[in-house]
Structure 1
Amino acid sequence: MKLFPLLLLLPVALVHSCPDGCTCLYGENIFCTQRRASSMPRNVPESTQNLYLFQNGITSLRTDDFSTLAGLVLLDLSQNRISELPGQVFEPLASLCNLDLSANQITEISKGTFAGLHMLERLYLHGNRIQNIHTAAFDGLDRLLELKLQENQITVLPALRMPSLLLLDISFNKIPSPRPENLELDNLESLKMSGLGLSYLDENLMKNLGNLHDLDLSKNQLKAVPAALKQCRGLITLNLAGNPQVAQLKKEDFQNLENLQELNLSNLNLQGIPEGLLQLFPRLQTLSVAENPFNCVCPLAWFPLWVRSSQVELARIEETRCHFPPLNAGKVLKRLEHKDFGCPTTTTTTTTTVKTSRPEPPVVTTLPTTTLPTPSPSQSSMDNAGSTPPPDTPELSSKPDPKVRFCPPNICLNGGTCQLDHKGHVECTCPPSTRGTYCESKEDTTLGISTPALTTEPAIRSRKATSTSILVDLHRYIQARPQLRGIRLTYRNLSGPDRRPMQLSVPASYPEYTLRGLRPNCTYHICASPLGEPETEDSFCTEAQTSSQQLHHSPITQSQHGQLTTMVVPLVSVVLVVVVAVAGGIYYVRRKRAKGHPDLGADPCPLELEGVKACLENGTLPQKVPDVSQSPNGLEYEVPLMQGHGPANNNVAALKPSYF
């Protein structure tokens, strides 16, 4: 009983040890968001693990600012006014894993800027004014997983030799086409080179990137599809959007890309797409060809039927329209029928009639009435006026042996299957949603989606998996919870000896999240639950398996980099001894929160992917608002610390999925 008064005084002692203008959570997480000072706060406790100093107005750092913070794991100095980084300023931070210096005014990175940061895994320098980077600036960062340098003024990219790097973003700089010796990154998974003004790529650029899964070449000046892509055999996502000089696609340009799942060809100068090109990608899931000046004539007549019959999602349907001829100008490409493309027709002499239960089938202007093509061109020109012409296809215009009975290509529409009965008559087996002699009539459905399908769809699901990563779709989980502040994402490996759960804190603004650094050919159990609530309440789980494919190099695994949970900020880290005191504290906090947020539709505070920038009670932590005034391209910076630069597919431009 003598310990009871001391335990009640514990929170008071923690508050008194906080620096002026800061808020401390359990003594290890410090948010300095209310202060406005040009220098670092004084008297930061030595036990601090996560220190958030974004939007403080800091203009300079001193060499002794971090001398007592050897245990610091995460440091957020983003959106300040820092213009210079003294040499060895971060050297005392031997345990630092995450460093965010984005949206400052830094102009140069010297040789000793990051000296001593041997444990660093994420370094964010985007949105500064960096012009020069010393060739040895990143030496010693062997554990680095992510390096973001986008939206700077870099003209020369130093040679990068980082064995563990998974993500590199150099978009929107003044860097010329990188050379192979600049990117000696054996395990790199994601490379972003958007907005560099590239007109070509070195054919050998990808020779050292055997583990590359995600490549963004959007918003450049490429004149053709780069030949370097032929070396990217493991590529899953390819973004070529916004290269207006690319006017033609060739099948040979996309050789060896059979693993491709997402392809963005928007805003090019395409008038058509070669028939058979998309068959090169048997695993394709999402395709975007919006904002192209399509010439909707006969050579493109195959595309709408392919879109409707395949399982591939066509993104930005309303923005995928015809440009020519005037009859089709402005029409949505997917909604056109074969007859709308004005294909020339050929006629046939009736030799065998199609088997049907009706004595006089209705005339369908786009369908043939015979099972055999015209034996010779001369007979075709003398066809009776009452016969119905078939579609003009390369297969039907050829001259086959008239004695051979076969199913004419494309005679069965809407995914129907052609077959011959015992007399050689053509019959079409139609899918459930179609009917008619040639499956020409479709049932009246609304985009093929019914309400029961939406209600039974799982709250979370995995959409894409590689040998080292799994993408988790959280759209439905977030949409069903408008008051959600954040998501606790828990995952564990069911296939390995170590099944301990690993946790990450994901902002409610993230509809997608990619778990990286996983083991190949393993099954992972993934659960999502509201941040700050017991994990057993409102929790949804799914299972996903990484692929067994390993391309040239061993993937980065959890054992190579330690547990990823060392980067996760524990929101509750104090051992509670007295149950009564804890219950009273929780009740008090919830009452205060309810009073501070009466509007159920209030915007949630931003959270960090590693549990950073958690909302303080009563809204004391302001949102980290992006500072667009410093952006040379007028682009929005990442708001939370571990956020991605933007979606590779611009179908949902407002959503910014995470890289890892």
Structure 2
Amino acid sequence: MKLCLPLLLPLLFYQHLWSPSLADSCPKDCTCQIQDSIFCFSRKDPKMPSEVPMTTKNLYVFKNGIKSLSQEDFLEMESLEMLDLSQNKLTELPGGVFEPLSSLHNLDLSANQIVHISKDSFAGLERLERLYLYSNLIESIHPAAFDGLQQLLELKLQGNKLTIMPALNMPHLLLLDLRFNSIPSPGPNDLQTPRLESLKLGGLGLISLDEELLGSFKNLHELDISNNQLTSFPGVLREARGLVSLSLAGNPMGPVKWEDFEKLSELQELDISNLSLQGLPETLTQLFPHLQRLTVAENPFNCLCNMAWFPGWLRIKQIQLGRTEETRCHFPPLNSGKVLERLSNREFGCPITTTVTTRTVKTTAVPPAPVTNLPSTTHAVLLAKPSDYPFTESDNNPPPPTPSSTIDPDLRSTFCPPNICLNGGTCWLDNKGRLECICLPGTSGTYCEKEEDPLPHEDHTDDPTVPEPEITATLVTSSSILLDIHRYIEMRPHIRGVKLTYKNLSGPDKRAKHLNIPPSYPEYTIRGLQPNSTFSVCASPLGEPGDMDRVCIETQTFSQQLTPTGARLEDPKLTTMLIPAVAILLLLVLVAVAVGVACYMHKKKSKGHLDLECDPSQLELDGLENGELPQKQEIISCPSTTQNGGFDCEMPLMQDHCTANNNKNSLKPSYF
């Protein structure tokens, strides 16, 4: 059973429950539109509100800038049951400060700056049921600080700086959250909480768990041991039949042994993110019949045929996939960076076995294993490319089907080796048993390998109703992206520069890389990227706090795939640039040869000393004066550090110093 008590009542109910008596005596800068409740939000006052009516039961004083409390602040508030002091600037809790609040049930002190909890910080709160102290700076708690809280049901201490946890003797405690502290694994003597239902120990750096402690909880329903240093599945969990929610994410457990989960059939929520999983077995459908939410983010999944069952299972069972955008394929390259849940069945590339009889043709998708021991009346054929006929006139295969033969409708689907049709093309079997690629609009060719220019009516660049994007990305090569940020800079004429943040959404390493670009550079090329990957690129004004005014796009680098004939597919732009370059080179070679021949003939005729010495390097070429080639623009070159999260650059960056080709100091913006 999971307890959840909202501490902030919905604002929509204010107008329905209105107390005239409270409204007449409402403290300054507060609202009193809910019966028996006072709501003080962002008053920017370092002191508690005064003249609170004695009949008040719920007092919300959060984000007010309150720096200190005294017992006088709560005099004549014996009826108060709920006190929310979160998001203030409290640094300490004086002893006995809450003693006048003898009826208090709920106390929220989260997101303050409290450093120490003294022995008498909660004196007089014998009826307290929920105490929230998370997101403070608490370093120490007096061993007797919680002794008087015998009715406590929930205690939240996550996100502090605790190194030692006092022993808790709380017979009614149901929820304990200790995440993201530095305390050791608690033992049976540390937690005497026999009714505990929810225990959260994530982010403590634990290398082991006290199995005697976990075994003592007979009513434990929720366990979070994520982001620790556990190298193996805790053995005590193999018998934890009552668990409803379990998080193992971010532990270096190595290969998961799914038999460890056989007795956890009651699980409704499971988080196995960041465990280096490359696949999921189809037995999950039987292991967790009651599963409602599954989180498998940050795993380097191989999206092959053995994973084709997964998206359909999520849809059929209506299972919510947590952190969907962070659950992406890592392999094969064709699927790298794609969201796993959104892949269609054909994109997993399951091989096809064709069964041929004298009357009909049947197609069945099978796991990738060799076909052996086939009956003599059938033949299995694995097609290699569209030009091959699945049925050839040979001693080992029957003749092609006659026009009167029928082809099973199941054949009219993907029927070829994985990824043979490029750019999203679909493989198709015609009535003669031949394969061809059906190409998407904008692509053509035998294998859909040619990308055509979009149709004129699809160009919305001149449509005034479609706003011009602030950032655009153009693929230059398989490992570089050209960013056009001139629109972003034009809309912000006073910014000092642009902070570019990009990260690879494909694979396990999603750490963000940062670049600072001067506003004088409306274009920038990011180099050294991983081919066939999906990248998130964001721009924000340099020097602004946080992610203010941030604009993001997603783009992909293409893969250097081999075509079915063995040729490598390259960027069409490179081909367009390469052909003129090769032509010019050939022209220069021919000119040099012609000059060499002319010189040789001249020498032969002179029969002695030469009147003219011919050197091809001294000739003037058309369009160039004095035989000088134009100087290349200086390129500031940084070493490629793709593996280390770096980049190549073509211009001086604001945070990096690169050595120029001519050994001169690189340029440095004046505002760096």
The structure with the largest alpha-carbon Rg is: 2
Larger RCO, structures 1/2 (Cα 8 Å, 6+ apart): 1
TM-score w.r.t. structure 1 length?
0.49
TM-score w.r.t. structure 2 length?
0.48
